[in-house]
Structure 1
Amino acid sequence: MLQKYKRVFSLLSQWVFFGAIIGLVVGSATTFLVEANDYLGDVREKSGWLIFLLPLGGIIIGYLYMNYGKVFLDNTLNDAAELNNLVIDAVHGKKKVLRRMGPIVYVATFITVFFGGSTGREGAAVQMGASVAEAVNNFFKALILDKKIFIMSGISAGFGSAFGTPITGAVFGMEMAALGKMKFAALVPCLVASYVGHYVTTAAWGHKHEEFIIQTVPELSLLTFLKVILLSIIFSLLSISYCQLRHGIQNTTEKIFKKNHMKRAFFGGIIIIVLTVIVGSQDYNGRSLQMLEQSFTEEVPPFAFLGKLIFTAVTLGTGFVGGEAIPIFFMGATLGNALHTFINLPISFLAALGLIAAFSAASNTPVAAFLLALEMFDGKGVEYFFVACVVSYIFSGHHGLWPSQKIYEPKSILFNIANGESIKNVEKKKKGI
C-alpha cells in the first residue's frame, strides 16, 4: 500500500512540475502574443491603407505553411495549416503537433492582424501552447507520462493566459477535443498549467485583460428563463451559420485553388478589401474590440454581428490565421445588443448572454463556457448562464468550429450518430459524400 501511495505522489509531483513549466513558457509567450497583437492592431487602425496589403500578407502566410508547415511522420501528413484541428487530432493520438507550429502561427497571426484580417488571438495561443507542450515532452523525454495530457496542458495554458480565465482554461483543455467526454486524468496538469500561465501573464508581465461588465441582471422569474431559452436557441443558430459558412468557404477555395495556400489567401485578401470598401469602415477588420466593449454599454449597428460573421468566415476560410473565440464573442454580444430592441432585458445582460451562448454552441464546450461566464462576469446571473450554455450546446447540433472534434456521446437521443465519429465525418454523411 505504501508503495502505491509513493507512486501516486511521484506521478502527481511530475504533473505539477511539467504543468508549471508549460504554464511558465506559454504564459510568457502568450503575453508577447497579446501585447504584440494589441500594438499591431493599434497601428493598423491609425493606418487604414494597410488593408490594401492584405493579399500580399496572404501570400507570405501561404508560403510559410506550404514550405515549413508540413511534416510526414509514420506515413501521416501533419499539416500545421490544419490549426486547432491538428491539435485535436494529436490529443486523439492520430497526428502529432509540430514544434515549429508555434512560431509559424505567431508570425501568421501577426500578419493577419496587422493587415486587417478579421480574427482573434486564442487560436494562436492554443496552438503555441500545444507546440510548447510537445517540446517540453521531447526535452525531458517524459515517456512514462501520457503525451496526450501534455498537449491538453498546453491548450489549457494557452486559453487561460489569453483570456485571464484560469479555471476555464483548465477545463477547456480537457473538453475541447471531444463532445461528451473529458479526460479527468489531465485535471492536475491542466489546472497547474492554466493557473501558472495566467499568473505569469498578469502578475509577472503585468498584462491587463479586457473587462466586460454586466450592469444589471434581471430578477429570477419563469418569464425571464423562457426568454433566455429562446435567446439561446437564436444564438446557437448564429453559431451554426458562422461555422457552416466558414467551413464552406474553406472547402470551396481549397477545391478551386487545389489546396494552394498562397493563392487561396491572396484571393481572400482581395475579397476582404472589397468588403471593407463596400462597408465604408474598418469596424469588422482586426479584432473589433472597441465595438465588442461598446455592445455592453450602448447600442451598436443592428447588423454588426452579420458583418463580423462574413468578414471572419472569409478571413479564416481562405487561409488567414488567428483565433475564433473573440469573433464569436463579438457576434454573440452584438446580436444580443440588437435584440434589446425586441426583448425587454438589460442591454449588458443580453450582450453577455450572447457572448457566452454563442461560444458554447460554436466550441461545443458547455462546461468551459459556463465557467467562462463565472470568471468573466464575477458570478453574476449564474442561473441564466447555466441554462444558456446547455440550451445553445444542444440546439447547435453536431456542428462546430473544429471538424476534428470527436462525438463520444450524441447531444440527444434524437441524433442517430455512432460514438467516436468526428464532426467532419458526420457532415460528410449528411451530404452523402
Structure 2
Amino acid sequence: MKRSFEHFFIARHLLYWTVLAIPVSIVAGSLVALFLWLLDLVTRFRWEHEWLLYLLPPAGVVIHFLYKLWGKNAEAGNNLIMEEIHEPGGGVPARMAPLVLITTLITHLFGGSAGREGTAVQIGGSMAQLLGKWFRLSKEDIRIILMMGIAAGFGAVFGTPLTGAIFALEVIAIGRIKYNALVPCLIASLFADIVCSAWGIHHTAYHINLTTLSRFDYLLIAKVILAGVAFGLAGSLFAAASHGVKALANRAIKHYKWMIPATGGLIIIALTFITGTTDYLGLGVTAKSPDGISIVNAFHENGVTSWSWLWKLVFTAVTLGMGFKGGEVTPLFFIGAALGNTLAILTGAPVDLFAGLGFIAVFAAATNTPIACTIMGAELFGTDHILYFAIACFTAYYFSGHSGIYSAQRVAVTKPGSGDQ
C-alpha cells in the first residue's frame, strides 16, 4: 500500500511539472526561434555591408544606455538567474528577455564577437520566472522552474535537448548535481527544441567523418589527454581574459562608463585591421567566404590558421568584457575547434576528431560542465567516439581549475589538487 502511494505521488509530481513545462517551452522555444531567425538576418546583412563595423563604438554606447535606463539588475544576465536559483529573492525581471534579445542583435549587426547561448538562457530564465510568479510558485519550485528555463533556452538554441537538461543541472555548482529537477529540465528542454524546430529553425550540422576507431588506440588516447590539458588551459584563459578585461576597463574608466563599450568597439576595429580579416567578428559558425575561418571549416585541414583560436579568444574577451551583449558558448566552440585543428596537425591526429573534441572540451572547461559537454558531443557528432569525448572533456574540466565564465557558479566540491579538500 505504501509503495502504491509512493508511485501515485511520483506520477502526480511528473504531471505537475509537465503541465508547467508546456508554457515555459512554448514561450522560450518561440522566442529563441525568433532570435535565431533575426540573428541570421543581421549576420548576413553585416556581411553585405562591412562598413557597419565602424559604427560598433556608438552601438556599444546605445547598449550601455539601454541597460542604464531600463536594465537595472537585468544586466547581470546569466549570473542573476543562477543567483536566484541559489537564493530566490528579487527575481529575474521579464524585461531581461527583450533587452538581451535586442542588444545581442545590435552587437552582431555591428560586428561584435559574441555568441547566442547567453541570450537564449536569459530568455528562458526570465520567461520561466514570469510564469512562476503568475502561478505563485513556492521558493523551491521557483528554483526548479528557473532551471527549466535555462534548459529550455539552451536546448532550443543548439538543438541539443539532452545537453540542455544536463547543463541546467550541472552549471549551477561545481561538483554537484541535484536530481530533483532532472525530469522537469528534460521535459522543458525537449519541448522547447520541438517548438523551436516547428518554427522552421535549422541548426548547423557538424560531422566527424572518421570510420570507427579502436576503443583502445593507446597512442590516440595519449594525444587526446594532452589535447584535453590544452583545452582546459584555453577555457581557463578565456574566463580569465573576459573577467580581466572587464575589471581593467572599469578601473581605467571610472566616471563616464559609456566610454567602456565605445573604447571596446574601437579596439575591435583595430584588431580587425591587424588580423586583416572580418572572420573573427560575429558568431563565427560560418564565414562570409566559403573558405573563410569558421567553426565549420575548422573540421577540415587548413581550414583555420595556427593562431585562429587565440584571435577569437581576444576578440570575444574584448567584446563581452567591455559591455557588449551575447553569449560566450559559440565563441568557445570556435576557440576549441580551431585549437583542436592546430593540435591535430601538430600531433598527426585526425583533424575532424580533434576539432570536435576541442569544440566540446573548451566549453566544458570554461563552464565546468564535463558531463553535459560529453553528451553534447554525442548529440552533435554521434556516439562512435564518445570515449574520446569523455576523456577530452573530463581532462579539460580538471585542468581549468575553479575558474569559469559564470561568477555566480558556486563550488560545491573542489577539484583534486586545489588544496581545499
TM-score higher than 0.5 here?
yes
Residue 224 of structure 2 corresponds to 228
Residue in 1 that maps onto 2:250: 254
In structure 1, distance between residues paired with 2:255 and 2:83: 20
Residue of structure 2 equivalent to 1:147: 142
Contact 1:65/1:81 (<8 A) preserved: yes
**Cα drift, residue 143 of structure 1:** 3.1
Q: Distance in 1 between matches of 2:250 and 2:365?
A: 26
Q: CA deviation at 1:345?
A: 1.4
Structure 1 position 12, deviation (Å): 2.0
Q: Which moved more, 1:144-153 or 1:323-332?
A: 144-153
Alpha-carbon separation, structure 1, partners of 2:77 and 2:98: 13
RMSD across aligned C-alpha pairs, in angstroms? 1.5
> Could you say which residue in structure 2 is the equivalent of 1:342?
346
Q: Is the 8 A contact 2:364 2:397 kept in 1?
A: yes
Of the three residues 56, 59, 63, the one matched with 2:58 is 56
Label 1:107 to 1:295 Cα distance change in 2 as closer, same or farther (>3 A).
same
**Amino acid aligned to 2:263:** F
Range 83-92 or range 323-332, more displaced: 83-92
Structure 1 residues 417, 263: closer, same or farther in 2, change over 3 A? farther
Deviations 1:155-176 (A, max 9, x none): 0000000000000001111111
1:417 corresponds to which of 377, 398, 420 = 420
Q: Residues 88 and 404 of structure 1 are in contact (CA less than 8 Å); yes or no, is this contact kept in structure 2?
A: yes
Q: Which aligned segments of 4 or more residues in structure 1 are displaced greater than 4 angstroms?
A: 2-6
Q: Which amino acid aligns with 2:153?
A: G
- d(CA) in 1 for partners of 2:333, 2:57: 26
Q: Which residue of 2 aligns with 1:120?
A: 115
In the alignment, residue 245 of structure 2 is paired with which amino acid?
A: I
Is the aligned partner of 1:9 residue 2:4? no
1:37 aligns with 2:39: yes
Matching residue of 1:101: 96
Q: Distance in 1 between matches of 2:145 and 2:93?
A: 13
SS in 2 for 1:197: helix
Contact 2:88 2:142 in 1 (8 A): no
Q: Which of 186, 196, 208 is the aligned partner of 2:181?
A: 186
The separation in 2 between residues aligned to 1:98 and 1:260, in whole angstroms, is 26
Q: 1:383 aligns with which of 387, 408, 411?
A: 387
Give, in whole Å, the separation in 2 of the partners of 1:417 and 1:146: 32
CA distance in 2, matches of 1:259, 1:181: 40
> What is the CA–CA distance in structure 2 between the aligned matches of 1:168 and 1:232, rounded to whole Å?
20
- Identity in percent: 38
Normalising by structure 1, what TM-score?
0.91
SS in 2 for 1:340: helix
Contact 1:63 1:261 in 2 (8 A): no
Q: Partners of 1:7 and 1:144 in 2: how far apart? A: 20
Instruction: State which of 358, 367, 385 in structure 2 corresponds to 1:354.
Output: 358
Partner of 1:74: none
Q: 1:172 to 1:261 in 2, by over 3 A?
A: farther
Q: For residue 243 of structure 1, what is the aligned residue in structure 2? A: 239
**TM-score calculated relative to the size of structure 2:** 0.94
Distance 2:22 2:176 in 1: 25
Paired residues of 2:243 and 2:321 also in contact (CA < 8 A): yes
| Deviation (angstroms), 1:286 | 0.5
Alignment of 1:133-172 (within 5 A): 133-143=128-138, 146-172=141-167
Q: Displacement, 1:261?
A: 4.6
Paired AA for residue 296 in structure 1: F
* Residue 10 to residue 218, structure 1, CA distance change in 2 (3 Å): closer
Instruction: Write the deviation string for residues 44-93 of structure 1: whole angstroms up to 9, x where unpaired.
Output: 011100001111110111011112111xxxxxxxx222221111111101
| Aligned counterparts of 2:75 and 2:406: Cα–Cα separation in 1 | 13
Aligned pair 1:293/2:263, yes or no? no
| Closer, same or farther: CA 164–252 of 1 in aligned 2, 3 Å | same
Corresponding residue to 2:200 among 176, 192, 206: 206
Letter in 2 for 1:231: A
Aligned length: 408
Match in the other structure for 1:408: 412
Give a deviation string over 1:95-138, Cα, whole Å, max 9, x none: 53121111110011000000000011010000110001001111
**1:142, distance to aligned residue in structure 2 (A):** 2.6
Output the amino acid matched with 1:298: E
Letter in 2 for 1:26: A
CA apart distance, 1:297: 2.2
Q: 3-state DSSP class of the match of 1:342?
A: helix
- Distance in 2, matches of 1:408 and 1:330, equals 29
